[in-house]
Structure 1
């Protein structure tokens, strides 16, 4: 057994749920974070029926009180958090031209995709510091890579969604900032691009399976102290910021 404890936000379905399953299979103690408490309980129960050590945790990453309560719950149970996976994310309203996207919609996307991971990471830092081998994983997107988006030869070049794309770019910047601060503490911080995956998020139009998407996140979660920090990965290969 790994003996490690992991928290996954937004994990009651799709990539987060499959990540919980794969880490459960590797005998992690999994806290399944979900904004909808009922759906979170149902998801955790299904995984427990498969034999995994999974418990649900009501967690709205946009709410200070909700995050604070989540910290208290894990602190009371374990006193430590070994792996934090910031997976919760939203797409926003149907894509429109950048010049036409409403500021309120962009702000709502940032609340979940940027401020949420920042809030959660800051709140759980004390429990991460209590671990002998801690890491933080930001579930980003290739659409946050300025290198890819500015390359006319890249398939992502034509996807010009201001709110979502820029939120993932901002999340990547946060990854770098946290990685630099946490390095002396021995806490690794990386970003993972799960790829264009068939989920409810995109109407199941993606070409990748949730199993493939989760595998890259799990790979980062299972790296040890000698593993990378301050990097952005897709399929275990570095992605340009």
Structure 2
């Protein structure tokens, strides 16, 4: 009888351990795409500002010729709507997705010669809507049009104080599809010089490009900070990293 009781107790412990491992496995399972998308909608208020926009960012090998870059955050814009933060053409192109909240920060490089604003716009769209918007931007090459440049955040009392529309040199706009967010970055010279021929970051970083945005590294700055912001958002939503840099 005692032996039988021990066998029953032993089986119970084994069964309990197995059930516990199943429950633990379920709890530790990676979120589904739908879960990550839903979580991405709340990142604007769930993610600390120092996580979304770190005070300093190191970019190993992301500068011209594979050089290292370092950026320091010099300003964070109050989170708010999109009406005053986007040029009309870009606002119109993004309008189908709606705008829940826009978060922006401005950085300068280690030499304080360039300034870069990076933004994360949380949309009201569902997943099919983000796919449709992404497809339109890709098919019509909207992100490369100079009418679609994002606006900088020119914080007073910082090296970016003179960073206005005329100073924009390079930019990138990313329509994410795994979270309902549009990520963008726009860069310019910190000395306030006017740029007459801005160039998309994806073009400026191509080897052999000799334009001012390319040779100054402004294309690299915009691309790298957008890459980093994408990676941070995806990590916060529980999505494996997919961009060139991990936070």
**TM-score, normalized by length of structure 1?**
0.31
From the two aligned structures, give the one with the greater helix fraction.
1
From the two aligned structures, give the one with the greater strand fraction.
2
**TM-score, normalized by length of structure 2?**
0.31
